[in-house]
């Protein structure tokens, strides 16, 4: 996904994995915009499960104990339902239109919403039948990540805005917009999203960290660097293609477990925030 940023992101990805203290979020120098330095989040890996390596992960969501996954790439986009612990794909629904590049997914009530990258289409499915959409909406810009706070869909459009859009799921009208920013200024490339206990957690495309964002104002209040907690995985699974990056955050509100993965990764990781 987002291959036009490949060279820049490749350099950035490896810089995030280095031990250079200048790249650590807790040692950033404020530009004086008045925002507090994001807290450095700590997490532990509780388990690792198999993950479908054909899945170019764009959206991840847990519903009724099952993992729902939306994927990208033209001619390869699909939605699938997977058993978390075994990694077994139980149902798979390919997008038949070869021009569609699938993106993030989110579930509210009995509906699943799926973004598309540059097609400006949002698909709406009934959860009991993901084989065909029951409704479509037009989206004004690129679609990257999507989550929800129970009543509103929250959407990112990546570059260059770094905006989060709060949207009415019934008619897809934008209710409000916040720009993501930290103590250094605006943050773009906000990708896959998950709403967890009042905060938005977000992948930043091409990096190894996850942001914690205050949904009321878009301020980054925390950063989780995965390079250290997944160091053995990164060492055993070097990024053969730039696009196979960290992307995918899911939260099971019943068990309070957090799951992360990446594009075509062989593993899904269960995390616990410390």
Per-residue pLDDT of 128-141, as tens digits, reads: 999 999 999 999 99
Gyration radius from the chain CA atoms: 17
pLDDT at 77: 96
- Give the containing element (helix H, strand E) for 59: strand 57-63
241 pLDDT band, cuts 50/70/90, is: low
Domains of the chain: 34-273 (2.120.10.30)
Tell me the backbone φ, ψ of residue 66, rounded to 5 degrees: -110, 150
pLDDT at 32: 60
Residue 13 has pLDDT above 50, yes or no: no
| pLDDT, averaged across the chain | 88
235 pLDDT band, cuts 50/70/90, is: confident
6 pLDDT band, cuts 50/70/90, is: very low
pLDDT in tens, 206-216: 899 999 999 99
- Please state, in angstroms and rounded to a whole number, the distance separating the CA atoms of residues 186 and 149: 23
Place of tokens 């949002």: 122
222-228 mean pLDDT: 95
Asked if 114 contacts 107 with a C-beta cutoff of 8 angstroms, the reply is no
pLDDT at 161: 81
- Give the containing element (helix H, strand E) for 48: strand 43-50
Q: How many alpha carbons fall within 13 Å on the CB side of residue 13? A: 21
CA-based end-to-end distance of the chain: 31
152-160 mean pLDDT: 92
244 pLDDT band, cuts 50/70/90, is: confident
Residue 51 has pLDDT above 80, yes or no: yes
Residue 80 has pLDDT above 90, yes or no: yes
- Please state, in angstroms and rounded to a whole number, the distance separating the CA atoms of residues 233 and 221: 27
pLDDT in tens, 83-111: 999 999 999 999 999 999 999 999 999 99
User: CA-CA distances (angstroms) from residue 52 to 49, 58, 170?
Assistant: 10, 13, 32
2-27 mean pLDDT: 39
Of 1, 7, 20, residue with least CA distance to 227: 20
């Amino acid at each position: 996904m987002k291959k036009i940023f490949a060279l820049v992101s490749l350099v950035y990805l490896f810089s995030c994995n280095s031990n250079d203290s200048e790249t650590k979020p807790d040692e950033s120098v404020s530009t004086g915009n008045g925002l507090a330095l994001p807290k450095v989040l700590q997490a532990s890996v509780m388990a690792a499960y198999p993950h479908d390596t054909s899945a170019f992960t764009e959206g991840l969501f847990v519903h009724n104990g099952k993992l729902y996954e939306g994927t990208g790439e033209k001619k390869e986009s699909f939605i699938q339902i997977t058993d978390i612990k075994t990694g077994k794909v139980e149902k798979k629904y390919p997008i038949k239109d070869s021009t569609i590049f699938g993106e993030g997914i989110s579930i509210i009530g009995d509906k699943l919403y799926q973004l598309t990258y540059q097609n400006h289409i949002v698909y709406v499915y009934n959860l009991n039948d993901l084989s065909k959409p029951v409704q479509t909406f037009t989206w004004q810009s690129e679609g990257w990540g999507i989550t929800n706070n129970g009543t509103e869909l929250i959407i990112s459009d990546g570059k260059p805005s770094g905006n989060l859009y709060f949207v009415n799921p019934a008619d897809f009208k934008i209710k409000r917009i916040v720009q993501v920013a930290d103590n250094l200024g605006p943050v773009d490339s906000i990708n896959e999203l998950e709403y967890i206990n009042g905060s938005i957690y977000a992948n930043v495309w091409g990096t190894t960290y996850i942001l914690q964002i205050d949904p009321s104002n878009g301020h980054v209040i925390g950063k989780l660097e995965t390079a250290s907690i997944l160091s053995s995985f990164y060492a055993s699974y070097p990024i053969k293609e730039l696009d196979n990056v960290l992307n995918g955050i899911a939260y099971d509100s019943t068990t309070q477990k957090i799951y992360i993965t990446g594009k075509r990764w062989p593993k899904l990781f269960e995390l616990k925030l410390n």
